[in-house]
Amino acid sequence: NLKVHFPLPGTLLKPKSGGSVKAVDGVSFHLNRGETLGLVGESGCGKSTTGMAVLRMTPVTAGEIHLEGNNITDLKGRSLRTLRRKMQMIYQDPFGALDPRMRVLDIIGEPLKVHNLVSGRKAYRAEVMRLMELVGLLPGMAERYPHEFSGGQRQRIGIARALAARPEVIICDEPVSALDVSIQAQIINLLKDLQEELGLTYLFVAHDLAVVRHICDRVMVMYLGHVVEVADSEELYTNPQHPYTQALLSAIPIPDPRAESRREVDPSIEGEVPSPVNPPSGCPFHPRCKHAMETCRTVAPELKDTTQGHAVSCHLYEPTSAAMPQIRVASM
Ligand code: SF4
Ligand code: MG
Helix (H, G, I), strand (E, B) or coil at 304: strand
Per-residue pLDDT tens digits for 26-64: 999 999 999 999 999 998 899 999 999 999 999 999 999
Of 266 and 319, the one with more pLDDT: 319
Domain assignment present for 332: no
Give the pLDDT of residue 263. 54
pLDDT value at 126 more than 60: yes
Q: Which pLDDT score is estimated for 14? A: 57
Q: What is the CATH number of the domain that holds 294?
A: 3.40.50.300
Q: Which ligand is nearest to the CA of 244?
A: 1
Q: Is 213 in the pocket of ligand 1 (CB under 6 A)?
A: no
User: 325 alpha carbon to ligand 1 midpoint, in Å?
Assistant: 13
Residue 248 is part of which domain span?
Answer: 2-323
Q: How far is the CA of 298 from the centre of ligand 1 (A)?
A: 11
Q: Which ligand is nearest to the CA of 43?
A: 2
Q: Is 316 in the pocket of ligand 1 (CB under 6 A)?
A: yes
Banded pLDDT at 259 (limits 50, 70, 90):
low
Q: What pLDDT is attached to residue 322? A: 46
Neighbours of ion ligand 2 (CB under 5 A): 48
Residue 331 included in any domain? no
Determine which residue's CA is closest to atom 5 belonging to ligand 1: 314
Q: Is residue 292 part of a domain?
A: yes
Which has more pLDDT, 270 or 218? 218
When divided into structural domains, the chain yields a total of 1
Task: Identify the pLDDT of residue 331.
Answer: 39
As a whole number of Å, the CA-based R_g of the chain is 22
Residue 328 has pLDDT above 50, yes or no: no
What pLDDT does residue 147 have? Answer: 94
- Mean of the per-residue pLDDT values for the chain? 89
What would the mean pLDDT of 100-120 be, rounded to a whole number?
95
For residue 323, pLDDT beyond 50: no
**What whole-number percentage of the chain has pLDDT above 70?**
88
Q: What is the pLDDT of residue 17?
A: 55
Of 235, 197, 198, 240, residue with least CA distance to 216: 235
Confidence at 319, pLDDT banded by 50, 70, 90 = low
Summarize the confidence of residues 1-27 as an average pLDDT.
81
Say if 330 falls within a structural domain.
no
Torsion sign over Cα 285, 291, 296, 297? positive
Asked whether 285 lines ligand 1 (CB < 6 A), one says yes
**Closest ligand 1 atom, CA of 289?**
1
Identify the band that residue 326 occupies on the pLDDT scale cut at 50, 70 and 90.
very low
Q: Which atom of ligand 1 is nearest to the CA of 296?
A: 2
Q: What percent of the chain has pLDDT over 90?
A: 74
202 pLDDT exceeds 60? Answer: yes
By C-alpha distance, which of 158, 249, 255 is closest to 212?
A: 249
- Distance from the alpha carbon of residue 24 to the mean position of ligand 1, in angstroms: 19
ipTM, two decimals, is: 0.98
List of E strands, 1-110: 2-7, 20-27, 36-40, 66-67, 70-71, 87-90
**pLDDT (mean) for 270-297:** 92
Out of 159-168, 178-187, 252-261, give the one with best mean pLDDT.
159-168
Is the Cβ atom of 288 under 6 angstroms away from ligand 1?
A: no
